[in-house]
Amino acid sequence: MKLEIGNFYVKDIVFGDNLSFKDGVLVINKEEALAFIREDERITEAELYIAKPGDKIRMCPVKEAIEPRTRLDDRGVFPGYTGELAAAGEGTLHALKNCSVLVVGKHWGGFQDGVIDMSGEGQKYTYFGQLNNIVLVADTNEDFEKNEQQKKNDALRRAGHKLAEFIGACVKELTPEDTETFELGQIIKRDAEVEKLPSVVYVMQPQSQMEEMGYNDLVYGWDMNHFVPTLMHPNEVLDGALVSGSFMPVSSKWSTYDFQNSPNIKALMKEHGKTINFLGVIMSNLNVALEQKERSAIFVAQMAKSLGADGAVVAEEGYGNPDADFVGCIVALEDVGVKTIGVTNECTGRDGKSQPLVTLDEKCDAIVSCGNVSELIDLPPMETVLGELQALARDGLSGGWAGDEILGPSVREDGSIILENNSMFCGDQVVGWSPKTMKEF
C-alpha cells in the first residue's frame, strides 16, 4: 500500500479576492468560505479569523483541528464522513502544511473543549500555537446541547472538516514543494534482512467510551463504540480514515490533525527496514465495563502474538477510566511475550503526589509520560480573545472552574486565567508531539 502526500508549506495566510496558494501565501476569500459554511442550516453565526504564531490571541472554547487537504481523484478527504465510503491509504493527497483549521465555539463550551494561546507562556502548551491557523468561530441552533457539559458539537466539527477540504482544494492542480511517500507492503514473506529485525506493532486506543452515538472518534465514519480491535494499515490513519470525536478532557484528546500527522506512526514507518520490522497498527478502543476492557486486551494480545510481534507501543487517548484499558492491554501483551512500551499522560493531582494512573501493574515497567493533566497554569491576559473566554469557567471545561476557595475563578476580571493543564487543547500530545521531559529530584 503506497500513499503519497504532496506538501505545500504555508508561511502566511491573508484574506483576499480568490482562494489561492502562491509562494507560501494562502489567500482565502472570507465571504465565499463563510457562504460555504452556512450551507449547513444548523450554523446560526459564523466568522473567520487568522491566528499566527506570535499573535496576541487566545482562543476558547476550541473544539477541533484539521489539516487542509485535497485528493487528486476527487474523493472526500475523510471517507465515510465528508465523502462516500472508500478505502483510505493509497493514492495521492495534497496538504497545506504548517497550517490548520481550528473550530472555536462562539459562545458555548463543554468538558471536551479547550484553550490555545498563540504567544506568551501559554503558546508552548499546545502544538497548534506553532501553526498558522484559519479559525472558524461559530454557533449553532443545537439549543439542546448548550447547557450540557458533554456536547457532540456535530455541526461545528463537520463545518471544520468541510472547510478544511474547501481550502485544501486550492492546491489540487499545483506542484508540491516536496512529497512524502508512505509505503508498507505485506506483513508476511518480507525480505529476509527485514524479517531479521525486531517486529513491532503500534496499538492505538482512540476514545470510544460513550455508549450514546455521536461523541466518539470515528473510523471510516463509524462510531468507535461499536468497534473491536482490528489490524489497520498505518497509511489508513494518515489518510483520513479516523476523525476526532467530542469526548474526553481536552488535553488528552487527539484532534483529527493529530491522526492525519501522527508522529508516532511516521517515526515507526521511518525506522521500518532499518532498525525494526514494522507490522502495522492494531486499532483498539476504550470501553466502560470491565469485561469489555478485558475482551479488547485479549483481542490485541492475540493479534500481536499471531503477527509475530516482538514489541509493541501502546498509546491511549484519555485518562482515568481509560487507564484500565491501557494497563490491561500492556499486561496482556507482556503475558504473551510481547515487550511493550506505553505512552500516556498522568493525573497526579495539582501537587504531583497522587497515583499517576487509575490502575497500575508491575508489568508496566516502560511508560513514557506526557505530563500531568492537573498541573496548574497561570496565564496573563491576551489582547484578543476568539470565542468566549468565560466558557472556561462557566461551561464545565475540563481544567476550568467557576470558583475555588483558594484560587478564585478560572477567568479573572482582567482577562488573566488560571487553569489545569487539562484545558489546553490537545496539550498532552500523546501522538508524539510532546516536548515534555521527566526530571528526578
* pLDDT for residue 437: 72
Q: For 11, what's the count of Cα atoms within 13 Å in the CB-facing half-sphere?
A: 5
* pLDDT for residue 441: 67
End-to-end CA distance of the chain, in Å? 47
Query: 19: which 3 cell numbers?
Result: 482562494
Residue 428 lies in a domain: no
Residue 432 lies in a domain: no
d(CA 319, CA 51): 30
Residue 346 lies in a domain: yes
Residue 440 lies in a domain: no
Helix 290-307 to helix 322-335 angle (10° resolution) is 40
* pLDDT for residue 248: 85
Residue 70 lies in a domain: yes
Task: Tell me the pTM.
Answer: 0.97
d(CA 378, CA 364): 33
Q: Give me the phi and psi of 138, to 5 degrees please.
A: -150, 165
Contact 101, 136 (CB under 8 A): yes
d(CA 205, CA 373): 18
Residue 110 lies in a domain: yes
Residue 430 lies in a domain: no
The residue among 87, 245, 81 whose CA lies nearest residue 164 is: 81
What total of structural domains would you count in the chain?
Answer: 1
* pLDDT for residue 232: 98
d(CA 277, CA 350): 41
Burial class (CB in 10 A: 0-12, 13-18, 19+), 206: buried
Angle at 268 (CA atoms; ends 262, 269), nearest 5 degrees = 90
* pLDDT for residue 438: 67
Which amino acid is residue 353, in one-letter code?
Answer: K
Residue 284 lies in a domain: yes
d(CA 145, CA 108): 9
Measured in whole angstroms, how far is the alpha carbon of residue 333 from the centre of its chain? 25
Show the low-confidence residues of the chain (pLDDT under 70): 438, 441
* Domain limits for position 74: 2-423
